[in-house]
């Protein structure tokens, strides 16, 4: 058999690998549209119910563009972001060891949707030094098989890559779990030593821009949230 030329190799990769990545991208984009639709539906449903008891508690959906959507739930903001690139996993990753992927290595190529949790006041008062937390990321391949890496129930309820198929029902479960986790993930005061000094320049700035960094777990590690990272 004649050795494959460079041009032949390029054409082969364009026809197989590059086409496969386009399939992955399209499946991920279609799945992200599910996230937009579900966030919008939940915002309407939850707002209708909460307004009966306390009009101060709001749930607001905001479409931020083709690859971004924001869901404000009371004092929290969930930010859903679709990455436009396609990713492969390291050979040591458990996904690469499954029989499902071993049958077709292209099944391990996935698009990615990230879910971040921020404090809504961080945006309201322009506190640009505040931090948000990645609470989950969804990986989707060209066959719409998916799994989730994330906190609490997000990390263990949606991890059957060989059988899990993304659809609107699954997306609703993921979004609801993300909202629940964020509402239960409370804001705690930072250690005294971490905030005992304040620069004159910070006092002179407007209150909206004061450089007190705020986040739900800054400086702490909690037994109930073992994945937290201690920040010194």
- CA-CA distances (angstroms) from residue 48 to 77, 162, 207? 18, 38, 34
Q: Greater confidence, 226 or 198?
A: 198
| Beta bridge mates, 133 | 117
What percent of the chain shows pLDDT beyond 70?
Answer: 82
Mean pLDDT of 168-197: 84
Sorted by sequence, the CB contacts under 8 Å of residue 56 that are 6+ apart come out as: none
The confidence score (pLDDT) of residue 185 equals 81
The confidence score (pLDDT) of residue 230 equals 34
Q: How much is the pTM?
A: 0.82
Edge-to-edge strand order for the sheet containing 59-63?
Answer: 59-63, 68-73, 76-87, 110-119, 133-140, 146-150
Mean pLDDT of 179-187: 86
The confidence score (pLDDT) of residue 197 equals 72
- The pLDDT mean for the chain works out to 85
- CA-CA distances (angstroms) from residue 71 to 44, 61, 120, 178, 210? 11, 5, 10, 11, 25
């Amino acid at each position: 058999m004649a050795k494959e030329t460079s041009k032949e190799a390029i054409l082969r990769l364009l026809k197989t690998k590059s086409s496969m990545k386009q399939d992955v991208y399209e499946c991920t984009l279609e799945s992200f549209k599910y996230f937009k639709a579900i966030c919008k539906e939940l915002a309407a449903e939850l707002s209708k119910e909460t307004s009966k008891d306390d009009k101060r508690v709001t749930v607001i959906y905001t479409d931020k563009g083709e690859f971004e959507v924001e869901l404000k739930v009371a004092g929290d903001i969930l930010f859903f972001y679709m990455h436009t690139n396609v990713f492969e996993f390291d050979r040591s990753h458990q996904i690469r060891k499954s029989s499902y992927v071993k049958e077709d290595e292209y099944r391990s190529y996935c698009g990615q949707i990230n879910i971040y949790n921020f404090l809504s006041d961080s945006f309201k008062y322009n506190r640009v030094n505040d931090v948000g937390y990645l609470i989950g990321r969804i990986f989707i391949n060209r066959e719409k098989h998916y799994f989730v890496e994330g906190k609490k129930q997000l990390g263990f309820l949606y991890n059957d890559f060989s059988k899990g198929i993304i659809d609107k029902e699954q997306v609703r479960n993921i979004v609801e779990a993300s909202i629940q986790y964020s509402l239960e993930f409370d804001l705690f005061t930072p250690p005294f030593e971490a905030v005992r000094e304040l620069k004159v320049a910070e006092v002179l700035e407007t209150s909206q821009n004061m450089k007190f960094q705020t986040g739900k777990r800054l400086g702490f590690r909690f037994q109930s949230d073992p994945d937290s990272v201690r920040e010194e």
